[in-house]
Amino acid sequence: MVIKPMVRSSICINAHPAGCAKETDDQIAYVKSQKAKRGIKSAKEGGKGAKTVLVLGCSTGYGLASRISAAFEYGADTIGVSFEKEPTETKGGTPGWYNNMAFDRAAKKDGLESVTLNADAYADETRAAVINEVKKLGRKFDLIIYSLASPVRTDPETKVMYRSVLKPIGQSYSGKCIDIITDTIKESTAEPATEQEIADTVKVMGGEDWRRWIKQLTEAGVLATGCRTVAYSYIGPEQTHAIYRDGTIGMAKKDLEQTALDLNKEMKASVNGGAYVSVNKGLVTRSSAVIPVISLYISILFKVMKEKGTHEGCIEQMERLFAERLFTGSDNAAGSVLTDSNHLIRVDDREMEPDVQKVCTQRMSDITQENLAEYCDLAGYKHDFLATNGFDIAGVDYDKDVARMDVID
């Protein structure tokens, strides 16, 4: 069969196996080139960077990019957890399934240990499975990446399922969005969240599950001395705060940030380690593409940053996080971590440069259908949107018949 992208309500609902694999391989090639450019030594070469890494939410976006950076720049053995729809011979799986297959294939080729668990990262059974796997390897984790972004979470104690929502708080919110299929501006309105919706969103996307992971891993004795854990967040400019930073998702992210402060103290006491939240740049991910106003802002941001030569995608961000924030010591050891006054790692620094934000703010204010193509990077946004599902990847023949949906070759 010939596979073309199927887009419904700003969500791509299918994936191309070969495209996902090629995109993953391209990211691996990038970090290998950066490794050579920076002179980073892998673990086998005597480097003192990450050696055993756990990535929760390993299959797409920042999680996948983090796992790739750890493995192919620092030579780390990795355990990854994500919850994917498995393909059959005739029916496709989720993009993350194919990304994980490509990662495991490349890791094996390079002689790296790679354990990928297709499981619910919120479940205690999955925590037990991860602990069992790292003990089988005879290792302890020196880095734990927490990059989960799920709309639902079942509390492992009460068995109650909670669902997150992306809504403003206190009043309705209206803003402009881009329909990437028609390249038109449309107005979108979101009604305010109830108190229950706010609490449920924090329950799903806040710090409770992260804290539970660290607690159980600590009690199991599988954290190495000096182990660090990093979760991911986004702040963005004031124009997006009503729907994001000051909305339900923002409340969850603030809870995540408070959790980092608590965990930092606990991990320092237990293993002389630390906990951080990294605030990353706004990018097109499977989740950001459906957030009102974010699509417009990001497409403008892309245009401005590409004009300045400072644009980064997921892999460039995570490679820089590892090399310039986390592993800054001698022989790429874990050095001191640069944070702001709120204990946040800021790799959104290039996005939030005053001159970048000044242009973005002006264009957000002046945007019309007539100047849309001039002010926005429509092609770049659309490419990144499709690429998350394995489409529009250079070097892939999309007219070629795909004989089986359960392989990536």
Q: In the structure encoding, which two tokens stand for residue 205, read together?
A: 């996307």
Q: Where are the alpha helices (DSSP H) in 39-94?
A: 61-74
Specify the length of the chain in residues: 409
Q: Select which of 98, 162, 244, 375 is catalytic.
A: 244
Structural element, H or E, at residue 388: none
Q: Please report, for residues 115, 144, 164, 211, 335, the alpha-carbon distance to residue 149 in angstroms, rounded to integers and kept in the order given.
A: 21, 16, 10, 16, 28
Known catalytic residue: 244? yes
Do β-strands 184-190 and 173-179 pair in parallel, antiparallel, or remain unpaired? antiparallel
Do β-strands 152-154 and 161-163 pair in parallel, antiparallel, or remain unpaired? antiparallel
Q: Please report, for residues 44, 59, 301, 302, 350, the alpha-carbon distance to residue 309 in angstroms, rounded to integers and kept in the order given.
A: 34, 28, 12, 10, 10
Spatial separation of the C-alpha atoms in residues 58 and 310, rounded to whole Å? 26
Spatial separation of the C-alpha atoms in residues 350 and 79, rounded to whole Å? 31
Structural element, H or E, at residue 344: strand 344-346
Q: In the structure encoding, which two tokens stand for residue 19, read together?
A: 């495209």
Place of tokens 């004989």: 403
CA 310 to chain centre: 19
- Give the long-range contacts of residues 107-110, CB within 8 A, separation 24 or more: 107/71, 107/78, 110/71, 110/72
- Closest C-alpha among 381, 194, 403, 198 to residue 289: 381
Whether 1 contacts 16, CB under 8 Å: no
Name residue 349's amino acid. Answer: D
CA within 13 Å, CB half, 13: 5
Q: In the structure encoding, which two tokens stand for residue 292, read together?
A: 């009102």
What proportions of the chain, in percent to the nearest 5, are helix, strand and coil? Answer: 45, 15, 40
Q: Please provide residue 55's backbone torsions phi and psi, each rounded to the nearest 5 degrees.
A: -120, 115
Q: Which residues are catalytic?
A: 244
